[in-house]
A and B are shown apart, each in its own frame.
Chain A
Amino acid sequence: MAARAQPVSAWPGAVAAALVAAVILGTLGTVAATAEAGGRFAPGDWAALRFTLVQAVLSAVLSVGLAVPVARALARRRFRGRAALVALLGAPFILPVIVAVLGLVTVFGRAGWVSAGLGLLGLPPLSIYGLHGVVLAHVFFNLPLATRLILQGWQEVPDERFRLAAQLRIEGWAMWRLIEWPMLSRVVPGALAVVFALCLTSFAVALTLGGGPRATTIELAIYQAFRFDFDLGRAALLSGVQLVLTIAAASLALAAGAGAGFGAGLGRAVRRWDARGRAARAGDAAWIALAAVFLIVPLAAIVAAGLPGLADLPVQVWRAAGVSLLVAAGSTALVLALALPMAAAVARGRMGVVEVSGLLGLAASPLVIGTGLFILVRPVADPFALALPVTALVNAVMALPFALRILGPAAREAVAAHGRLALGLQITGWRFMALVMIPRLRAQIGFAAGLSAALSMGDLGVIALFADPETATLPLQVYRLMGAYRMEQAAGAALLLLVLSLALFWTLDRGGRWHAEA
């Protein structure tokens, strides 16, 4: 396998991976080097580690476990509003934490809609605070992402397979064993790893909905070490632990997720000839409806809260929206520039290191990256002048894992299916990318770009460390409005953020699939 000629070379991907690793590990090393003495685990850190792992495992298993039937139902059904629903699935996890949490609390909180309904029935109100609250929020954030990742797996199964299966009257269990299970066993481990890593670094959600100090995560310990104790050594150490956990999870997932694909198809939309029975239809409808209600009701709460404030948004909010769009554009371009060669390198096989490097972004603490970059940039340039490019760069690194998850399998298929022919025709390197890879990956590129752009719009991480008055992003402006008690305008700005992020996601994702779903 290793000696076989390949239509794409690995080095651009390796360079990109090295760049990403340099940003993440370099900043971590810089922070560690700046520290005065070696860091040590504080007693509470072990409890933090345990809680972090427990909630991340639970959140990942539940998010992905629920995403499988939802994605299956979405893959098998065509209905009005399906495209809109799939686009909406991008919404929850791009929201600033505080906005999403307030949306969830409006629905599930002690004074929320569900509790009010229970009250009418004479039942006690729900409590959203505790481990279950953390997991609920993480499922809200990550179920949509997991659904999209798995749905994509379904759509990558060539239509011809299902056509053939229908002719051979393969249904039910046989269909599961021959087509669905092999596909899931490739896609699910990656989705689990992504969600696990995302929940690993969660901090504001875990604290707010966890109910208090019991819900301490490693990221909070990093925060404390840095801000409260100014113990850079401990911050670096904890950040390292976070990285190791993610790499371990990612390696497990990559080992589990390896395996052959399905070969080439003509790329038509998936149509299913099984699953036409009444029970199958009702089941799919129920899953879609449940997921839609669970995701859309809290979003509706955010919309309801934001509408009154939308009318008199201060001009600074619009300016911040412009800044956010600019950062998102830069970040998205950077993500694609990094992810495409990395995906191509992954497609050649045996490039686990590239994949792991791509996943590092999930585990890195934005606080540590930001601080490290600050220390590095400081001697050569004004960090505040660099606030926006640095934010775009860090956002790109953070979004890279998703882009790679999305592009990787399809790139592998493209190389496997068309590699030999391309080699025979001497279409290699750049020409293979331009003529074969990019056109084949159009849908995935659109999805990855949309997700990266939307993620970047919602990110608060680094800008809060670097911001000066003129360069606030929209999420930062939401916090500023709240800090000035202007809750109504803050809710309006949050709604604007939601709408812009969704529009960006929808446009890019749609653009990628233009004419592809005939």
Chain B
Amino acid sequence: MKYLGFAAGFLSVSAVAAAADTRELTVYTYDSFVADWGPGPKIEAAFEATCDCDLKFVGVEDGAALLARVRLEGERSEADVVLGLDTNLMAAATETGLFAPSGVEAAYDLPVEWADPVFVPYDWGYFAFVHDKGLEPPANFRALGESEVSIVIQDPRSSTPGLGLLMWVKAAHGDDAPAIWEELADNIVTVTKGWSEAYGLFLEGEADMVLSYTTSPAYHLIAEEDAGKAAAVFDEGHYMQVEVAALMETSDTPDLGREFLQFLVSDAAQSILPTTNWMYPAVMPEGGLPDGFGQLVTPEDALLFPPEEAAAIRDEALDEWLRALSR
């Protein structure tokens, strides 16, 4: 039985949990948030400087996986705060009954009214098609459909931007959405599992445009000093992604959790987000936006379904999308 002994020993080696005396706050978030170049480490340092506590981030793939994880764990979850859901996931999150009112008050700088007592918006952005500056981009979905411009998009079944695009077309064109998708079908080079694959293909030159965010060019501008990328402005408006955080009903340190959520909309945290998460801050920091963000395009109209409506539309929109693109 030597093998089994080996296997068992191997499994138990790291099963030792560390106990801590200081207050501990566990925050579940998506994976890119906790990466060393993401906002996680800086947020952690800034919060720990004020709270006399230990902030522990746990990264789980993306927003959709994050919600699946919390649903799986249910009331036994160790998470005190969940950070990284968006308005498209909020209805499903509310339905779990796992989240508690935040008590957070802030003067949000969002293009939409925000009055939700549970979910705290911490940053936001517009979905947009990013292209090289040499390209003269179409002005809306109809023009895109009629043009020869090629695009890469993400699959709504496996990625949150992909789902955002479904909502965008639906919000802009309502019942005409299926017709728009049929027009777009021959512009779509391919559909990828996630954002990374799509953006990678775009950078390889496989398509003229890629579904991303209006803030994407800011990265190239600020971090790479490359002014060659731009986001196309569509005159029917741009769907927004508002990223939210919420306190778990089951948290054993709800006060510390609320403290963290309030910190999240404070100047200290908000000034970190633009150049780490590459999104707009939910509350404008005193110092304003970083250089480079001023050169970004701003859509005239912000489109956003309220959470319940988004959840209700989702399945129908997915059906229409599948039907149009499976021809």
Is A119's CB within 8 Å of the partner chain B?
no
Contact A220/B6 with A479-B196, A485-B219, A485-B278 known, Cβ cut-off 8 Å: no
Segment of A282-290, A357-365, A378-386, A434-442 engaged in the interface with chain B: A378-386
B169 to chain A, nearest CB (A): 15
**Contact B155 A393, beta carbon cutoff 8 Å:** no
Within 8 A of A (CB), among B18-43: 31-32, 34-38, 40-41
Contact A213/B321 with A208-B190, A464-B61, A484-B37 known, Cβ cut-off 8 Å: yes
Is A493's CB within 8 Å of the partner chain B?
no
Is A230's CB within 8 Å of the partner chain B?
yes
Segment of B46-54, B103-111, B197-205, B292-300 engaged in the interface with chain A: B197-205
Name the one of A223, A337, A378, A393 contacting B158, with C-beta atoms under 8 angstroms. Answer: A223
Segment of A11-19, A73-81, A171-179, A502-510 engaged in the interface with chain B: A11-19
Name the one of A98, A333, A382, A481 contacting B17, with C-beta atoms under 8 angstroms. Answer: A382
Segment of A106-114, A135-143, A149-157, A451-459 engaged in the interface with chain B: A106-114
Name the one of A111, A393, A481 contacting B205, with C-beta atoms under 8 angstroms. Answer: A111
CB-CB nearest in chain B for A317: B36
A372 to chain B, nearest CB (A): 10
Within 8 A of A (CB), among B262-294: 278
**Contact A129 B197, beta carbon cutoff 8 Å:** no
Is B45's CB within 8 Å of the partner chain A?
no
**Contact B31 A337, beta carbon cutoff 8 Å:** no
**Contact A12 B3, beta carbon cutoff 8 Å:** yes
The residues of A that contact B34 with a CB separation of less than 8 Å are 468-469
Do most interface residues of chain A lie in helix, strand or loop, or is the interface mixed? helix
CB-CB nearest in chain B for A331: B10
**Contact A203 B193, beta carbon cutoff 8 Å:** yes
Alpha-carbon distance A347/B31, docked complex (angstroms):
45
Segment of B67-75, B121-129, B134-142 engaged in the interface with chain A: B67-75
The residues of A that contact B41 with a CB separation of less than 8 Å are 469
The residues of B that contact A330 with a CB separation of less than 8 Å are 10
Is B312's CB within 8 Å of the partner chain A?
no
Is A388's CB within 8 Å of the partner chain B?
yes
Within 8 A of A (CB), among B139-172: 150, 155-158
Name the one of B37, B40, B73, B204 contacting A486, with C-beta atoms under 8 angstroms. Answer: B37
Is A214's CB within 8 Å of the partner chain B?
yes
The residues of B that contact A207 with a CB separation of less than 8 Å are 155, 158, 191-193
Contact A213/B71 with A224-B158, A385-B14 known, Cβ cut-off 8 Å: no
Is A308's CB within 8 Å of the partner chain B?
no
**Contact B200 A337, beta carbon cutoff 8 Å:** no
CB-CB nearest in chain B for A396: B7
The residues of B that contact A106 with a CB separation of less than 8 Å are 204
Is B59's CB within 8 Å of the partner chain A?
yes
The residues of B that contact A247 with a CB separation of less than 8 Å are none
**Contact B157 A484, beta carbon cutoff 8 Å:** no
Is A314's CB within 8 Å of the partner chain B?
yes
**Contact B3 A384, beta carbon cutoff 8 Å:** no
The residues of A that contact B155 with a CB separation of less than 8 Å are 207, 213, 220
**Contact B195 A483, beta carbon cutoff 8 Å:** yes
**Contact B4 A15, beta carbon cutoff 8 Å:** yes
Within 8 A of A (CB), among B181-228: 188-193, 195-197, 199-201, 203-207, 216, 219-220, 223
A419 to chain B, nearest CB (A): 23
The residues of A that contact B76 with a CB separation of less than 8 Å are 378-379
Is A410's CB within 8 Å of the partner chain B?
no
Is B100's CB within 8 Å of the partner chain A?
no
**Contact A209 B10, beta carbon cutoff 8 Å:** no
**Contact B223 A485, beta carbon cutoff 8 Å:** yes
Is A124's CB within 8 Å of the partner chain B?
no
**Contact A482 B38, beta carbon cutoff 8 Å:** no
Is A53's CB within 8 Å of the partner chain B?
no
**Contact A468 B59, beta carbon cutoff 8 Å:** yes
Is B115's CB within 8 Å of the partner chain A?
no
**Contact B64 A228, beta carbon cutoff 8 Å:** yes
Name the one of B68, B78, B190, B223 contacting A212, with C-beta atoms under 8 angstroms. Answer: B190
**Contact B4 A214, beta carbon cutoff 8 Å:** no
Is A343's CB within 8 Å of the partner chain B?
no
Alpha-carbon distance A371/B188, docked complex (angstroms):
33
**Contact A226 B68, beta carbon cutoff 8 Å:** yes
Alpha-carbon distance A211/B326, docked complex (angstroms):
10
**Contact A337 B220, beta carbon cutoff 8 Å:** no
Most chain-B Cβ atoms within 10 A of its Cβ — which of A207, A227, A338, A379?
A227
Alpha-carbon distance A389/B13, docked complex (angstroms):
8
Alpha-carbon distance A214/B69, docked complex (angstroms):
29
The residues of A that contact B36 with a CB separation of less than 8 Å are 314, 316, 469
**Contact B15 A480, beta carbon cutoff 8 Å:** no
**Contact B157 A228, beta carbon cutoff 8 Å:** yes
The residues of B that contact A374 with a CB separation of less than 8 Å are 72
A122-142 near B? 1/0 per residue, CB < 8 Å: 000000010000000000000
The residues of B that contact A204 with a CB separation of less than 8 Å are 192-193, 197
**Contact B325 A212, beta carbon cutoff 8 Å:** yes
Alpha-carbon distance A140/B196, docked complex (angstroms):
21
The residues of A that contact B321 with a CB separation of less than 8 Å are 213
**Contact B38 A212, beta carbon cutoff 8 Å:** no
CB-CB nearest in chain B for A390: B11
**Contact A469 B17, beta carbon cutoff 8 Å:** no
Alpha-carbon distance A465/B223, docked complex (angstroms):
29
Contact A480/B35 with A111-B204, A111-B206 known, Cβ cut-off 8 Å: yes
User: Besides the contacts A102-B201, A385-B16, A464-B61, what 18 more A-B pairs have beta carbons closer than 8 Å?
Assistant: A105-B204, A106-B204, A110-B205, A110-B206, A111-B204, A129-B189, A204-B193, A227-B157, A227-B158, A228-B157, A378-B73, A381-B17, A386-B14, A467-B59, A468-B59, A482-B200, A483-B31, A486-B223
Can you list 29 pairs linking A and B with CB atoms under 8 Å apart? A16-B3, A19-B7, A34-B72, A98-B196, A109-B206, A207-B158, A212-B191, A227-B64, A227-B157, A227-B158, A228-B64, A230-B68, A230-B92, A330-B10, A337-B7, A374-B72, A385-B15, A385-B16, A388-B14, A389-B13, A393-B7, A464-B61, A469-B35, A469-B36, A469-B41, A479-B196, A481-B37, A483-B35, A485-B278
Question: What 3 A-B pairs have minimum CB-CB distances, sorted nearest first?
Answer: A111-B205, A483-B32, A224-B157
A interface with B by C-beta (< 8 Å) = 12, 15-16, 19, 34, 44, 47, 98, 101-102, 105-106, 109-112, 129, 203-204, 207-214, 220, 223-224, 226-228, 230, 314, 316, 330, 333-334, 337-338, 341, 371, 374-375, 378-379, 381-382, 384-386, 388-390, 392-393, 464-465, 467-469, 472, 476, 479-487
B interface with A by C-beta (< 8 Å) = 3-4, 6-7, 10-11, 13-17, 31-32, 34-38, 40-41, 57-61, 64-65, 67-69, 71-73, 76, 78, 92, 150, 155-158, 188-193, 195-197, 199-201, 203-207, 216, 219-220, 223, 278, 321-322, 325-326
